[in-house]
Every structure is written in C-alpha cells, then in structure tokens.
C-alpha cells in the first residue's frame, strides 16, 4: 500500500505538483483578498452600489465553475491565468460581502463615543471599523479558501498544472490509483488549509471580536 | 502635546431658543437654559423628553434646527466640530470602550493622536486610573471585556477626562448598574467631581440620582424645560403636578410637614469665643472637622463663623469675631417647613437653632435635602 502510494507520488512528481498547486492557490487567494476587501470598502463608501455589485457577484457565483473556465478560453486561453481569474471571480463575493457587513455593523455606541471624542471619520474607519471587521473578513476569506482550492484543482484539467494535472492523467489512463492518491491528497490539503484559516479566524475573534 | 482649545474653562453655556425635530417628531421644542461654569446641571425627564438630544446638541453630535448654543459667548456653530468635541468629555450608559484596545489604549487614544510620548501617556493613564479607583498595574493592559460593568464605567469616565476637558457631558452613566453599585459609583463620582472641578451636564431619569449629584436640576417634558432649580426649589416649590409627582414631594417628603427644626438640625459645635486668635480658631475647626462654628461674644450673644470665610480673611482680621456673620435664629420646635420658607425668603443658607438662650444646633437646608433623599 505504502509502496504503491510512494510509486505514484514519485512517478507523477506530486511534490512539485503540490508546490505548483499551492503557488497558484496563493496568488489567486491574495488577488481575491485584495479585490474583495477593496470592493467591500468601495461599497461601504458608496452604499448605492451595494445592490448592483452584489447582484452581479451573485450571478457569477451561480455559474458552474467548469462553464466559467470554458467561457474564459476565448478571453484568456487555457492554463494558469484563466484558473486564477476564475478563482478570484468566485472568491470576491464572500470576501467583499463580509468586509462590507463587518464595516457597517459596528456597534452604534462605539461610533457615537468615537465621534463624541472628536475622532475623524477616517480614523474611525481605519482604527475602529476595520479592526472590528477583521473576524468577519477572515470568515469570508475562509469560504474563499475552500472555493479556490476546488477551482485550482479543476483548472488542472484545463492545463493549469498543480494537482489537477495528475488527476487528469489518472482519468485519461483509467488509473484509479493515481486518482485515489492525488484526490485524497487534495482533500487533505484543503482540510489543513481550512483548519489554519479557522484557527486564524478564531484568534481574530478573540482579539477583536464583539461578534 | 497641547490641544488647540476653543475654551480653557467654562464661564457660561447659553442655550437659547433651541429646537430640534426628527422627521415628524419634535424632540426639543424651543428650550433656553443658562448653564453656569463649575456647576453640575442635571437634565431629567422620561424617555422622549428631549434630554439626551439636548445633551448631544451641546457637543454638536446633533445640530439644532433653530436657536443657538454658545459656550463662553462663542456660538458653537463657529467652532470646528472635531475641535469642539475633543474639548468636551463624553460618557454614556453603554460606555463604548473599544473592545480591540486595552484599557491603556482606550484611555490613551486621544493623547496618542495628539502625539504625546509613551511616557506621558502612561503616566496620565495611571493617574486617571487611580482617580477612578482602579489599580493601574492591574488594569492597564487588560481588555474591556475582562472588566465588570462597574469597572468599565470607571474606565469610560477616565477616558473622558484624559485631555482634561473643562466640560463633561454624561448620559445616564450609571443607569445600567445594579442599585448598590450605582450608589457606590455615585458616591465616588461626588468625590471625583470635587477633585476635578469641572462643569458637568448630566442626563438621568433617576430623581434620587439627580438630588444626590445635581447642583441644579432641569426637569424636561415633551421637549421643554418644565422647571429649573436647585433640589430645594423643586421640592419646596414644584411648578406643577408633573414636577411634584416626579420629585415625589408627597411620597418622599410627605412626612416633612410633621417634622420640626429639632428633628433635622445638626449639632452646633464647636462653640468658640469671639476673642480667639484666628490661627487657633482655624486649628479648632479643622480638628473638629466642622466647617461652621458658633461664636460666643462677650455680651453672650452669638454669631456664626464659616471656615471658608475665616480662611479668606485670615490676614485681615485679628479676632474671629470680625469674620463672623450675623445669625439667622430659629427656635427648636418651629415647623421645619415654615423655617425653610423663612430662610428662603431671607435668602440665608444657615440657621442657628436656639434653646433657652443657648445654641442648640444648626439647620442647613442644602444638607437637609441630601439627608432626606
């Protein structure tokens, strides 16, 4: 059993594939966090855009991920770039929505006291609203991690590399052992990443939480 | 590190013809009110009476629709809102400590923004924590949720005082505490108030709290001030039924009609000789812990001596007699109410109660009120 796993692992370069996979994953996640927080902040500043922006992001979300990757072929071809784009498109919604909610729903008492102390709106946003929104934002990022992990794997089928590639190979060669090893390994990675994110979220809640 | 101050101390706050409506509701309906520097003014009334709205218009959290509010004669509309609010301490029932900041960071927030050094901030925070009876080394680095409600409210007060603002606005600060703790914090607050000597506007719906803390009380109802006066005025001369119900003249002071002067007088001591040296008289009074002495002069007549007057005049007078005031005599079995009426008519705040030609006690109406409450 162990020998077979090791054989598959070595033959199909699973160590390199894992590094590649995590690399794509990281780029996609960081891009999604930057875009999601920025959009959340933008909507917070311009409330009237909240409903159209969230409707569009929701529409993207309802799209099946394979269909989205296919649709991106004419725009971005196949490979790493469309995969990252798809990851970001899916992950913006939870991050932007939680950022927006976190910024909006700060206890009115804190805002009143902050204003009464003579704090500026900018100061309140940066030093009160944002820190208190951290646990919410982290919750959104955690959802994005799960999305991103799945789509990066799927992107392997469209030539993005990572752990989707050996899965594709396994399917083409009808080799259940490869599918099994690569599939389980992706699953374990996802659980580990989610666990780490959960830990970070919990510690942010302890530190900043009024939730 | 100095803050730009539109005012260093409060001489007056003139609220003139102020009106504020929210949609259809008139929250404050044309009130005028002169707040004096150094006093603790209570705004009291039920919910919807406009007391909190009035308070928030003083630091411009809300701007009035009509009328003006001037501090030391300067219209607050001409002062930048942020500058104004940095000079006015603000304490609310919900406290509003920032949960992600330690006690040190909460109290030191404005000093940090003003660019104080770490040492200056730490020493100021420690000083304030001592003032509100929290040991600094135990509390500095804790987070608000690790503190009890009473402790949080003390920190809230300390935070409001950090820039040493000349004016303090307080909105039911003790309202969420249980009665025992509330009473304890009120007592502590009375002490702190004397230490810090600030002008304070204090909103409450608790008449007992109003009587315990207030120098003057403004009773509000449906956006208007129904009556403004000292606790004594309100109890003895309620403007209408609403006021007498609120101050509970009947309930609390129903028995007042049956009291005589002797029931409520305090002992007249020390009794000193009119020829006593000023220094030794001060010594005797300080030692006895009494701010008022009865002075017996040679003709076996009496007069009263206030420690404060004596201290003021210590260099100008030789014997204590020269610093005394003529007494307002009362007899022991006079009815308390009529005695108070007479004193009010004569505008004296101290009565000397006599029995068989000897001083038997003193009647202090202001102290009386707090004792009755």
Overall CATH class of domain B261-372? alpha beta
Per-residue pLDDT tens digits of chain B, which is 373 residues long: 445 688 888 999 999 999 999 999 999 999 999 999 999 999 999 888 999 999 999 999 999 999 999 999 999 999 999 999 999 999 999 999 999 999 999 999 999 999 999 999 999 999 999 989 999 999 999 999 999 988 999 999 999 999 999 999 999 999 888 888 888 889 888 888 887 888 999 999 988 889 889 999 999 999 999 999 988 788 878 888 888 888 776 555 556 666 788 888 888 888 888 888 888 888 888 888 788 888 888 777 888 888 888 888 888 887 788 888 888 888 888 888 888 888 888 888 888 898 888 888 888 887 777 766 5
Q: What CATH code would you report for B12-255?
A: 3.40.50.300
CA distance readout (Å), B243 to B171, B236, B276: 21, 11, 48
User: Any alpha helices (H) in chain B, and if so which ranges?
Assistant: 51-58, 81-86, 103-107, 109-113, 118-131, 136-139, 149-161, 179-196, 207-213, 231-236, 241-246, 249-253, 261-264, 278-288, 307-313, 336-345, 365-372
d(CA B84, CA B5): 8
Does B95 contact A114 at a Cβ distance shorter than 8 Å?
A: no
Does A209 contact B99 at a Cβ distance shorter than 8 Å?
A: yes
Does B85 contact A118 at a Cβ distance shorter than 8 Å?
A: yes
Contact A148, A28 (CB under 8 A): yes
> How confident is the model at residue A125, as a pLDDT?
94
Assigned CATH topology for domain A2-208: MetI-like fold (1.10.3720)
Kindly report the backbone phi and psi dihedral angles of residue B294, in degrees, each rounded to the nearest multiple of 5, phi listed first: -100, 130
DSSP state of B320: G
Q: How far is A201 from chain B (nearest CA, A)?
A: 15
Does B92 contact A113 at a Cβ distance shorter than 8 Å?
A: yes
Letter string b/e over residues B25-62, b meaning 16 or more CB atoms within 10 A of that residue's CB: ebbbbebebebebebbbbbbbeeebbbbbbbbbbbbbb
What are the structure tokens assigned to B345, written together?
């008519």
Q: Interior CA angle at B307 toward B231 and B368, to 5°?
A: 25
Q: How far is A123 from chain B (nearest CA, A)?
A: 10
Task: Write out the DSSP string of B118-172.
Answer: HHHHHHHHHHHHHHTT--HHHHTT--GGGS-HHHHHHHHHHHHHTT--SEEEEES
What are the structure tokens assigned to B312, written together?
């003021």
B contacts of A113 (beta carbons < 8 Å): 90, 92, 95-96
Contact A169, A12 (CB under 8 A): yes
> How confident is the model at residue B251, as a pLDDT?
55
> How confident is the model at residue B1, as a pLDDT?
41
B contacts of A132 (beta carbons < 8 Å): 99-100
> How confident is the model at residue A211, as a pLDDT?
42
User: How many CB atoms are located within 10 Å of the residue B259 CB?
Assistant: 16
Non-local CB neighbours of B336 within 8 Å, separated by 6+ positions: B256, B259, B260, B261, B263, B264
> How confident is the model at residue B234, as a pLDDT?
85
Closest chain A residue by Cα to residue B108: A117
pTM exceeds 0.95, yes or no: no
Which one of B99, B115, B167 makes the best mutation probe of the A interface by having the most chain A beta carbons within 10 Å? Answer: B99
- Domain borders along chain A are 2-208
pLDDT at A143 over 60: yes
| Interface ipTM | 0.79
> How confident is the model at residue B284, as a pLDDT?
85
What are the structure tokens assigned to A168, written together?
């594709």
A contacts of B88 (beta carbons < 8 Å): 116
pLDDT in tens, A57-66: 999 888 888 8
A119 close contact with B: CB closer than 8 A: yes
d(CA B149, CA B174): 10
- Domain borders along chain B are 12-255, 261-372
Average confidence (pLDDT) over A58-77: 88
Which residue of B61, B82, B92 is in closest CB contact with A120? B82
> How confident is the model at residue A141, as a pLDDT?
95
Which residue of B85, B100, B169 is in closest CB contact with A207? B100
> How confident is the model at residue A94, as a pLDDT?
95
A contacts of B84 (beta carbons < 8 Å): 118
Q: How far is B12 from chain A (nearest CA, A)?
A: 21
pLDDT in tens, A23-52: 999 999 999 999 999 999 999 999 999 999
**In this prediction, what percent of chain A has a pLDDT beyond 70?**
99
> How confident is the model at residue A152, as a pLDDT?
92
Letter string b/e over residues B225-246, b meaning 16 or more CB atoms within 10 A of that residue's CB: bbbbbbbbbbbbebeeebbbeb
d(CA A19, CA A3): 22
């Amino acid at each position: 059993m162990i020998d077979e796993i090791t054989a598959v692992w070595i033959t199909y370069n699973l160590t390199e594939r894992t590094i590649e996979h995590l690399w794509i994953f990281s780029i996609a996640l960081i891009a999604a966090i930057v875009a999601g927080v920025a959009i959340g902040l933008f909507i917070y500043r311009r409330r009237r855009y909240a409903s159209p922006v969230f409707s569009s992001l929701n529409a993207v979300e309802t799209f099946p991920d394979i269909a989205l990757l296919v649709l991106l072929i004419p725009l971005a071809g196949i490979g790493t770039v469309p995969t990252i784009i798809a990851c970001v498109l899916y992950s913006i919604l939870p991050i932007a929505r939680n950022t927006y909610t976190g910024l909006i729903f700060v206890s009115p008492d804190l805002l009143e006291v902050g204003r009464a102390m003579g704090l500026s709106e900018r100061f309140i946003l940066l030093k009160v609203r944002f820190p208190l929104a951290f646990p919410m934002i982290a919750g959104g990022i955690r959802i994005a991690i799960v999305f991103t992990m799945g789509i990066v794997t799927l992107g392997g089928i469209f030539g993005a590399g990572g752990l989707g590639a050996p899965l594709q190979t396994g399917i083409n060669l009808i080799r259940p052992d490869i599918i099994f090893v690569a599939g389980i390994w992706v699953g374990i990675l996802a659980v580990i990443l989610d666990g780490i994110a959960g830990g970070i979220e919990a510690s942010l809640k302890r530190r900043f939480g009024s939730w | 590190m100095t803050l730009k101050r539109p005012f260093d101390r409060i001489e007056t706050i003139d609220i003139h013809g102020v009106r504020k409506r929210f949609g259809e509701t008139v929250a404050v309906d044309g009130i005028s009110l002169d707040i004096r520097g150094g006093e603790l003014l209570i705004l009291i009334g039920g919910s919807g009476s406009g007391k909190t709205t009035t308070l928030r218009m003083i630091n411009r959290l809300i701007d009035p629709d009509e009328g003006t509010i001037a501090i030391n004669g300067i219209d607050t509309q001409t002062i930048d809102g942020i500058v104004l609010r940095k000079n006015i301490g603000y304490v609310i029932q919900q406290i509003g400590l920032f949960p992600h900041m330690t006690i040190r960071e909460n109290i030191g927030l404005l000093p940090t923004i003003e660019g104080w050094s770490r040492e200056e901030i730490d020493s100021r925070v420690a000083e304030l924590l001592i003032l509100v009876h929290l040991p600094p080394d135990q509390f500095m680095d804790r987070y608000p949720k690790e503190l009890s409600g009473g402790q949080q409210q003390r920190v809230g007060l300390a935070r409001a005082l950090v820039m040493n603002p000349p004016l303090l606005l307080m909105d039911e600060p003790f309202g969420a505490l249980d009665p025992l703790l509330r009473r304890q914090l009120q007592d502590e607050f009375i002490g702190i108030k004397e230490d810090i000597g600030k002008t304070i506007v204090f909103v409450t719906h608790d008449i007992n709290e109003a009587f315990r803390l207030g120098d003057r009380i403004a009773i509000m109802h449906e956006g208007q001030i129904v009556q403004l006066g000292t606790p004594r005025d309100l109890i003895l001369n309620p403007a209408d039924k609403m006021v007498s119900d609120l101050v509970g003249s009947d309930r609390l002071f129903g028995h007042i009609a049956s009291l005589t002067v002797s029931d409520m007088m305090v002992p007249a001591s020390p009794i000193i000789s009119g020829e006593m040296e000023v220094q030794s008289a001060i010594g005797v009074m300080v030692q006895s812990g009494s701010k008022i002495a009865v002075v017996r002069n040679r003709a076996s007549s009496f007069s009263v001596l206030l420690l404060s007057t004596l201290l003021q005049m210590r260099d100008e007078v030789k014997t204590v007699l020269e610093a005394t005031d003529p007494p307002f005599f009362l007899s022991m079995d006079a009815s308390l109410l009529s005695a108070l009426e007479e004193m009010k008519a004569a505008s004296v705040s101290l009565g000397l109660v006599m029995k068989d030609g000897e001083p038997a006690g003193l009647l202090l109406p202001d102290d009386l009120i707090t004792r009755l409450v």
